Amino acid sequence: MKILKSPIFNFLAITILVSVFNGCSLNKIAVNKTARLIDKGLPAFYREKNTKLAKQSLPANLKLMEVLLETSPQNTLLLRNLSQGYCGYSFMFEEDENIKSASRLYLKGMDFALRALEKNRLISDSKIDAARIKAEDVPEVFWYIFCKTSWINLNRDDPDAIAELPSIIPPAKKIEELNPSYYYNGIYSIFGAYHIIRPKLLGGNPQKSKEYFIKAIHEDGRQFLLNKFIYAKLYAIAMQDEELFDKLIEEILNAPESNIAETNLANETAKEKAADLKEKRNELF
């Protein structure tokens, strides 16, 4: 039976699929099967080019997964996709409208990733034990770090938030070792963000930031336009590098359609965000 007929999930069909089973154990089996269907169907969502449609539909997807999680609270697929979903929604759609709401969504994404990592026994003294991370753990670790870095970026005026930055590095280095190309070289964008967000006196390094962002936009990362957008928004503006800013923004706005269909939603979002930044250029420099 084909449950996912379009980028927007057929929630009624999924709900019926779960409800036909009776008993806790059968419900859990049904939920786990549904979680796998959702995981396989998510690429269809990321291929969506209509950002307004995606913004309207993603919250319903996320709430459905939370409902399913009540029956199977340790389902790694649900936890991972909830973490990615809340972080992605906050970054793409919420940051520019409501920083406080975006911060809360990042914390929520962190919590779902943390639950997955606790299940895999990767948490020690409330921190990720980087030495225990294996290749199969990379997705959950990545989304935890992505959410945390994004949350810190929105709360730079909070010393407690800045103090959390060093905790990102050990697991980030482990991802770089195990699977540096995961999510379109995303770990290099995180390293780049780390070194530009962190004050120089506390170990920040703008030169390293630039080197990491350059790594992020190589190979498949070049077709993932959000890498260039983060490079422009965090590094170019912080360093007041107008030439680099203009170059990156124009590359984003004029980029051809990616050969990787799963980047469609992110790339359309990057173009919209780049256009907004371009309009604010005189305020930024």
On whether the CB atoms of residues 96 and 272 are closer than 8 A, the answer is: no
Q: Residues 234-254: pLDDT tens digits?
A: 999 999 999 999 999 999 999
Beta strands per DSSP E along the chain: 123-124, 127-128
Residue 156: how many CB atoms within 10 A of its CB?
A: 13
pLDDT at 202: 78
Q: Residues 198-242: pLDDT tens digits?
A: 988 877 899 999 999 999 999 989 999 999 999 999 999 999 999
* Closest alpha carbon to 144 in 188, 94, 193, 106: 106
Alpha helices of 126-201 — where are they, by DSSP H?
A: 138-154, 159-162, 169-178, 182-197
Q: Residues 82-99: pLDDT tens digits?
A: 999 999 999 999 999 999
Per DSSP, 256 falls in state P
Q: Residues 119-168: pLDDT tens digits?
A: 888 988 778 999 999 999 999 999 999 999 999 999 999 999 999 999 99
pLDDT at 199: 86
pLDDT at 12: 46
3 state SS of 154: helix
Per DSSP, 47 falls in state T
pLDDT at 222: 94
**Residue 271: pLDDT above 90?**
yes
Residue 8: how many CB atoms within 10 A of its CB?
A: 17
Residue spans of the domains in the chain: they are 1-64, 65-284
pLDDT at 132: 94
Question: Which CATH number, 1.10.1740.10, 1.25.40.920, 3.40.50.300, 1.10.10.10, labels domain 65-284?
Answer: 1.25.40.920
3 state SS of 202: helix
* Closest alpha carbon to 149 in 120, 189, 178: 189
pTM: 0.89
CA dihedral 274, 276, 278, 283 (to 10 degrees): -130
Q: Tell me which of 6 and 37 has the higher pLDDT.
A: 37
Spell 42-76 as b/e; 16+ CB within 10 A means b.
Answer: bebbbebeebeebeebbeebbebbeebbebbeebb
In the numeric block, which tokens belong to residue 44?
């269809």
Q: Residues 57-85: pLDDT tens digits?
A: 999 999 999 999 999 999 999 999 999 99
**Residue 19: pLDDT above 60?**
no
What is the CA 163 to chain-centroid distance, rounded? 21
**1 falls in which pLDDT band (50, 70, 90)?**
very low
Residue 255: how many CB atoms within 10 A of its CB?
A: 16
In the numeric block, which tokens belong to residue 200?
């120089």
Would you list the DSSP string of 98-130? -HHHHHHHHHHHHHHHHHHHHHTT-EETTEE-G
Cβ-proximal residues to 43 (8 Å cutoff; 6+ apart), any chain:
261, 262
